[in-house]
Amino acid sequence: MSKNEVTTQVNDVNRISSGTEFHGVLNSNADIRIDGFFEGKITTTGKLVIGDSARMVGEAIAKSCDIWGEMEGKVLLKEFFGLRKTGTFKGKVACHKVFIEDGGYFNGSCKIITPEEFEGSIKALENDGKEIF
């Protein structure tokens, strides 16, 4: 391991608490949990969780995502997209696997991709600077 390489700890979680608003860009190597309001773009190599009381508007790139609250936008995921029974999603998703619990509200499109297609999309975003699909 090189000196500059960052190792994510198991318990590392970035959190935007209930009652908090965040507008902007958030990049992390750790998991991210939102319980407040987030508007902007999130990029993480970990898991993204949108809690019961949360609302997110924007774009997200992550390993996986669980939505218990509300999200509107675009999501690019390496592994799975989970919409829980209390969750609402409006937008576009590209992921390897998807599950929607009974009661979850999904209004949008979902494209199933391989982990290799995910990596290709990340490289295209880095090279071209374009939006998520």
The pLDDT tens digits of the residues spanning 75-106 come to 999 999 999 999 999 999 999 999 999 999 99
DSSP E strands, 78-113? 80-83, 88-95, 97-100, 105-112
Model confidence over 32-78: pLDDT tens digits?
999 999 999 999 999 999 999 999 999 999 999 999 999 999 999 99
Residue 100 to residue 117: CA distance in whole angstroms: 22
Q: Which amino acid is at 133?
A: F
* Comparison of pLDDT for 129 and 28, the residue scoring more: 28
Burial of 86 (0-12, 13-18, 19+ CB in 10 A): middle
